[in-house]
Structure 1
C-alpha cells in the first residue's frame, strides 16, 4: 500500500511518517473468502485486522455487529496481556484486510498518540452503540 492509502484509513490518518513506514513494512494485505473465520473466542490474540473492502460479522453474546471498510477487528485481545478473543469474527462478504501482528500493534500504540486516540474513539463508539 502507498503512504496515502495507509493515511486514508481513519485509524492511521494521523500517523507520523515513521508510523506509516512501520505499517507499510510490517502489515500484510489479506484476502478472505465469504464465510471464512478470522478469529475464534478463546484464542490468544496474535494480531488485528483493518477491513479495507467487504464486511465482517463480529458474533458477540449480545448479538452480532457488522464492520466494514476502515474498521479495526481483533484489537481488544491485544491491548491487555493474557486476554483472549471474546468473539467469533467471520467474513460476511469477500474481504480484503490489513493484518498487523501484536508486537507491531503495541509499538504503534505506544509511539503514535494519534493511533491510540483513534483506537479509543472507535472502541468508545462501539461500546456506546452496543445494546445493554
Structure 2
C-alpha cells in the first residue's frame, strides 16, 4: 500500500486537518510491537481525533481518540513518535495512518472503508 511521509514540522497541522476530514469515520487500530507481534487496540470505533504534542524528540506524543459514546472512548498514546505517514490505496483514497515510535512500535489506524474525503463530504452520519 502506498504511503506518503509527513514532515515532522507539519505533524500538528496535518493531524488537525486529517482529524477534521475524517471525524466520525469508522476505524480499526492495530499495534505492531517488536517480539510481540500484532494486536488489535480497537475495532470499528468512530474517530474523534488525532493530535500531536511535539516537545523534544524523546518526549513528544501523538494521541488517537476514538469511540461511539462518551463512556467507551479509547485514548491511545504513542510516545516518542519518529514517523507519520498517510496510507493510501493505489487510486489515492485515504486508508489511514501509520505512526512509528522510537521504541520500534508501529501503530496502524485504518479506516473500515478507504475513501477520498471529498467523496463523502457533506454525507450525514447516523
Structure with the largest fraction of helix:
1
TM-score bucket (shorter structure)? 0.3 to 0.5
Name which structure has the greater RCO, CA cutoff 8 Å, separation 6+.
Answer: 1
Larger proportion of strand: 2
> Normalised by the size of structure 2, how large is the TM-score?
0.32
TM-score normalized with structure 1 length = 0.31
